């Protein structure tokens, strides 16, 4: 998630945005459709997450956000099955 500077609301993280939501702010816990209006959703602002489960806007990559996520103690890891 990224946080819109003017409103303080969170939205999908997007490296092409210029409203503040291009900067990492958190990880959404589950699908949350706010297309019809504001909605309260659960997010994490720290933790370790399976990078395969963290969805991004098409064209964005996990690598380009790693440093910003670390500022929030969010770590994306590759999970390997034994």
Using only the alpha carbons of the chain, give its radius of gyration.
13
- Residue 74 confidence class, pLDDT cut points 50, 70, 90: very high
Mean predicted confidence (pLDDT) in 77-82: 83
Assess whether pLDDT exceeds 90 at residue 79: no
Mean predicted confidence (pLDDT) in 28-45: 93
pLDDT in tens, 53-67: 999 998 999 999 999
Q: What is the pLDDT of residue 80?
A: 82
Instruction: Please give the C-alpha separations between residue 68 and each of 19, 26, 63, in angstroms, as whole numbers.
Output: 16, 10, 10
Instruction: Give the global pTM.
Output: 0.82
Q: Yes or no: say if 8 and 38 are a contact pair by the CB < 8 Å rule.
A: no
Mean predicted confidence (pLDDT) in 27-32: 92
Find the length of the chain.
82
């Amino acid at each position: 998630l990224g946080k819109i500077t003017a409103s303080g609301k969170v939205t999908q993280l997007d490296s092409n945005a210029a409203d503040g939501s291009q900067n990492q702010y958190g990880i959404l816990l589950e699908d949350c459709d706010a297309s019809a209006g504001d909605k309260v959703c659960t997010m994490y602002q720290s933790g370790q997450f399976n990078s395969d489960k963290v969805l991004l806007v098409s064209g964005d990559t996990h690598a380009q956000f790693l440093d910003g996520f670390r500022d929030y103690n969010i770590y994306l890891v590759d999970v390997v099955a034994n």
